């Protein structure tokens, strides 16, 4: 048994802690604020396998299969619902692009199909069908409650002995050559240190500073945070817009009905560079901008009240694919999720724990594709299909 | 306070539910808020957050001043979408 330190208590760090404990490893997990406080508790809850490249489609197909069994495995209600994703085309070229994506998704077993606007209207009763020609519909995509999912993993991890510490910031790593030997962290006013056999950087938007602590160049994995926001309305009748509905050509704007309380979550590709590493200040331009799109997608939203607006970070890499794998002998990274870390967590956590503990995995994760050194080598992937 | 007394009227959360989670080790108000959806209703916690703070203080033996209060989120009062998008008759 070796001792593995995980830095970052978002969904990736917490789920990886659980998977490592399942494999019998001793785990110490550090979160500098409260668990989920980074991007995880700010996400839009969406889970989809509708990507446009083989690596992300196969990874997400597997992840969705894990999501399907997660509630039972973790023994906790996480409110996972397969309510689908519906992408909408506004012109003929987009319809053609949808057809190609669907072909690729079908090839790997993802059951997306092209639907007409009558069927779309049945699926989303408040939809304005008029601007759209066709939809790409995968009924197996869905959503889950990020709060409950994180806690479900956390509770089980703790039961298996994971030492999970919140309000505990990692401030340094000790290393000898390419081996990290100890983690230094703040405990109240004091700096303490713990010897470890391996370290995982799961700090997502803040991952570059952890890489620097390991003696690597800060931008060896060039992750940059972008502020993305969401607006939520008061609850509507269930069933009005259960799937995530998104016309990609409308600045990636989308709506999705919260599986928990029925409010409509509205997102958009209106993004901002944060003013500082904790800039969660909501902006008025987003509020108005996102709602203009939302009422065009679903006109009845005009009459709803907005009850919340919040911001979080997309931790983006230059090709919007995450960096997953080994950076040094015993130093690993899973970060830069560019807006997809919640949906990918079940698959990524399992694959990463396997890699650290056993050196191999059955999870269909393409290590080359997500290689953290690809940026260094100037080998960008095709951009992962990102929305909002 | 009796166990089935409702603390969060917007989202129907009782004293019992809050205490059960505190006993499981969830003592952070941000976490209680997210697990039980207290403070996330139309009143945005103006009714329930002070009550939750006092339950938390009592149960954990801390003084209420030691417990950080969750940040309020905009808007301060619910606003109708059509007011924001200017009529919205696009
Ligand atoms: C508006 C919005 C909508 C989104 N919608 C979706 C969606 O629908 N579906 C989806 O899959 N994804 C979505 N995402 C993306 C998703 O939220 C993230 O990809 C995911 O939460 C990343 O998880 P993580 O664990 O990697 O990172 P985080 O949750 O950010 O966790 C990293 C943690 O590391 C901690 N940390 C940093 N530095 C240190 C240190 N020195 N010591 C200790 N801890 C440290 C931070 O405090 C943080 O909690 C959305 C994101 C946003 C902002
Ligand atoms: S009473 Fe709790 S949110 Fe209104």
Displacement of CA A204 from its chain's centroid (Å) = 10
Find out whether A298 and A124 touch, Cβ atoms under 8 Å.
yes
* pLDDT of the residue at B72: 65
Q: Taking all residues of chain A, what is their mean pLDDT, rounded to a whole number?
A: 96
CATH number, position B70: 1.10.10.1100
* pLDDT of the residue at B74: 65
> How many angstroms is it from A34 CA to the middle of ligand 1?
12
| pLDDT above 50: residue A92 | yes
* pLDDT band with cut points at 50, 70 and 90 for residue A186: very high
Q: What angle do CA A105, A269, A257 make, to 5 degrees?
A: 70
Looking at the CA of A208, name the nearest ligand: 1
Block residue for tokens 């240190």: A193
Q: Which helix H or strand E contains B18, and what residues bound it?
A: helix B15-23
Domain boundaries, chain A: 1-83+141-222+319-388, 85-139+224-316
> How many angstroms is it from A149 CA to the middle of ligand 2?
23
Partner-chain residue, chosen from A261, A299, A310, that has the shortest CB–CB distance to B73: A310
Find out whether A223 and A327 touch, Cβ atoms under 8 Å.
no
- What architecture is the A1-83+141-222+319-388 domain classified under in CATH? 3-Layer(bba) Sandwich (3.50)
CA atoms of A239 and A270, how far apart (whole Å): 27
Q: Which residues line ligand 1 (CB under 6 A)?
A: A 7-13, 30-33, 37-40, 42-46, 169-170, 202-206, 228-230, 312-314, 335, 337, 339-343, 388
* B25-84 pLDDT, tens digit each: 888 888 888 888 898 887 888 889 989 998 998 888 888 777 777 766 667 678 899 988
- Take residue A224 and report the two structure tokens written for it: 């940059």
A1-83+141-222+319-388 and A85-139+224-316 agree in CATH topology: no
Tell me whether residues B88 and A295 touch, CB distance under 8 A. Answer: yes
Check if A41 contacts B (Cβ < 8 Å): yes
Q: What are phi and psi of A21, to 5 degrees?
A: -65, -40
* pLDDT of the residue at A368: 97
Three-state SS annotation for chain A? CCEEEEECCCHHHHHHHHHHHHCCCEEEEECCCCCCCCCHHHCCCEECCCCCCHHHHHHHHHHHHHHHHHHHHHCCCCCCECCCEEEEECCHHHHHHHHHHHHHHHHCCCCCEEECHHHHHHHCCCCCCCCCCEEEEECCCEECCHHHHHHHHHHHHHHCCCEEECCCCEEEEEEECCEEEEEEEEECCEEEEEECCEEEECCHHHHHHHHHHCCCCCCCCCCEEEEEEEEEEEECCCCCCCCEEECCCCCCCEEEECCCCCEEEEECCCCECCCCCCCCCCCHHHHHHHHHHHHHHCHHHHHCEEEEEEEEEEEECCCCCCEEEEEECCEEEEECCCCCHHHHHHHHHHHHHHHHHHCCCCCCCCCCCCCCCCCCCCCCCCCCCCCC
**Residue B78's domain spans which residues?**
6-85
* pLDDT band with cut points at 50, 70 and 90 for residue B90: very low
Check if A89 contacts B (Cβ < 8 Å): no
* pLDDT band with cut points at 50, 70 and 90 for residue B89: very low
* pLDDT of the residue at A278: 86
* pLDDT of the residue at B88: 42
% of chain A beyond a pLDDT of 90: 95
Bridge partners of B13, per DSSP, are: B8
Check if A308 contacts B (Cβ < 8 Å): yes
Instruction: For residue A285, give how far its alpha carbon lies from the nearest alpha carbon of chain B (Å).
Output: 11
* A220-266 pLDDT, tens digit each: 999 999 999 999 999 999 999 999 999 999 999 999 999 998 999 99
* A255-305 pLDDT, tens digit each: 999 999 899 999 999 999 999 888 999 999 999 999 999 999 999 999 999
Judge whether B1 lies within some domain.
Answer: no
> Atom 1 (ligand 2): residue with closest C-alpha?
B8
CA atoms of A260 and A240, how far apart (whole Å): 14
Total domain count, chain B: 1
Bridge partners of A172, per DSSP, are: A184
- Take residue B78 and report the two structure tokens written for it: 């619910």
CA atoms of A16 and A348, how far apart (whole Å): 8
Find out whether A335 and A201 touch, Cβ atoms under 8 Å.
yes
> Which fold, A85-139+224-316?
D-Amino Acid Oxidase; Chain A, domain 2 (3.30.9)
């Amino acid at each position: 048994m070796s001792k593995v330190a995980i830095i970052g208590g978002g969904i990736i760090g917490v789920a990886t802690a659980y998977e490592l404990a399942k494999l019998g490893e001793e785990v110490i997990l550090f979160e500098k604020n409260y668990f989920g406080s980074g991007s995880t508790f700010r996400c839009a809850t969406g889970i989809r396998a509708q990507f446009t490249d083989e690596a992300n489609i196969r990874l997400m197909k597997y992840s969705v299969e894990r999501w399907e069994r997660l509630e039972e495995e973790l023994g906790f209600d996480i409110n996972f619902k397969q309510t689908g994703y519906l992408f909408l085309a506004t012109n003929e070229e987009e319809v053609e692009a949808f057809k190609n994506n669907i072909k690729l998704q079908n090839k790997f077993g993802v059951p997306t199909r092209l639907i007409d606007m009558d069927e779309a209207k049945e699926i989303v009763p408040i939809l304005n069908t008029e601007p759209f020609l066709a939809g790409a519909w995968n009924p197996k995509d869905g959503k889950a409650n990020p709060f409950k999912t994180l806690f479900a993993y956390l509770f089980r991890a703790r039961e298996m002995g994971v030492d999970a510490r919140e309000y505990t910031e990692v401030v340094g790593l000790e290393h000898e050559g390419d081996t990290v030997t100890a983690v230094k962290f703040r405990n109240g006013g004091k700096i303490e240190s713990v010897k470890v056999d391996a370290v995982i950087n799961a700090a997502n938007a803040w991952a570059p500073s952890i890489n620097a602590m390991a003696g690597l160049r800060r931008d060896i994995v060039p992750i940059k945070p972008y502020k993305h926001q969401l607006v939520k309305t008061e609850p509507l009748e269930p069933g009005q817009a259960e799937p995530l509905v998104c016309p990609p050509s409308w600045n990636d704007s989308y709506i999705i009905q919260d599986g928990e309380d029925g409010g409509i979550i509205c997102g958009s590709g209106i993004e901002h560079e944060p003013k500082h590493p904790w800039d969660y200040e909501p902006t008025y331009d987003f509020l108005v901008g996102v709602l203009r799109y939302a009422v065009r997608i679903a006109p009845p939203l005009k009459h709803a009240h907005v009850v919340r607006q919040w911001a979080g970070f997309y931790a983006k890499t230059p090709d919007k694919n995450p960096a997953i794998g080994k950076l040094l002998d015993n130093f690993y990274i899973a970060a830069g999720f560019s807006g997809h870390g919640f949906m990918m967590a079940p698959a990524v956590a399992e694959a990463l724990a396997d890699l650290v503990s056993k050196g191999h995995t059955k999870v269909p994760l393409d290590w080359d594709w997500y290689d953290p050194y690809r940026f260094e080598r100037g080998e960008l992937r095709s951009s992962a299909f990102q929305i909002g | 306070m009796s166990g089935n007394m409702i603390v969060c009227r917007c989202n129907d959360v009782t004293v019992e539910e809050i205490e059960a989670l505190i006993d499981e080790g969830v003592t952070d108000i941000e976490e209680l808020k997210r697990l039980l959806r207290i403070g996330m209703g139309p009143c945005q916690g103006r009714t329930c957050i002070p009550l939750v703070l006092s339950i938390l203080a009592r149960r954990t033996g801390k003084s209420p001043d030691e417990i950080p209060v969750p940040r309020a989120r905009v808007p301060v009062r619910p606003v109708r979408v059509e007011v924001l998008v200017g009529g919205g008759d696009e």
